[in-house]
Amino acid sequence: MTLEEARQLMWSANTHDKPFIEYAKISQEPNGDYALVVEPVEGGQQVYRDARDAEKALLAFRKRKIKENERYFTLGKDDIPVECDRETHDADWPNREKTKRKIACSPEIEATIVFTGWARMIGMDGDVRLWNVSFTNPFYH
């Protein structure tokens, strides 16, 4: 792999994969090529000498770790989120649509708030984000 490829992969891993990767660094091989050395939070050090292999491995690792951290919720009594499995979450879709609220923030801006019930990633503080907010201009819809 070239130095530029290794730098891009290292930056991506150290920036986007920080919750899963302790570090990624560049190593120069005896033949002058470069390798990406990755130390996952869980597991042993991995060395990638091919940029495509490194990119595929990082993507697969990212997907696996995200899937492991997915959490699902429904709204229970008094609209309090209750953790559930994915099947219950999926079956609860009509109820989530009922949570949709539109709020006029100004004459030009409208906020839409809806309970998603899906936490793809848990925040670094351990909190889950279960609501989605979007802002639109109602005159353009």
Same domain, yes or no: 117 and 93 = yes
**Cα(114)–Cα(54) distance, integer angstroms:** 38
Q: Which domain holds residue 37?
A: 3-69
- For residues 51 and 97, membership in a common domain is answered with no
- 85 and 110 co-located in one domain: yes
Residue 134's pLDDT is 86
Residue 85, CA distances (Å) to 26, 42, 92, 110, 118 in order = 40, 25, 11, 33, 10
Q: Alpha-carbon distance 2 to 49, whole Å? A: 9
**Do 101 and 48 belong to one domain?**
no
- Is residue 15 domain-shared with residue 44, that is, in the same domain? yes
* Alpha-carbon gap, residue 131 to 103, rounded angstroms: 15
* Residue whose tokens read 């004459």: 107
Domains in the chain, number = 2
User: Are 48 and 35 spatial neighbours (Cβ–Cβ below 8 Å)?
Assistant: yes
Q: In the chain, which residues have pLDDT < 50?
A: none
Last residue of a domain, one of 40, 69, 98: 69
Give Rg (Cα) of the chain.
21
Q: Of 66, 118, 120, which is closest to residue 92 (Cα–Cα)?
A: 118
* 51 and 80 fall within a common domain: no
pLDDT of residue 55: 92
Residues 63 and 80 grouped into a single domain: no
The residue from 36, 69, 102 where one domain ends is 69
Tell me the three state secondary structure of residue 72.
strand
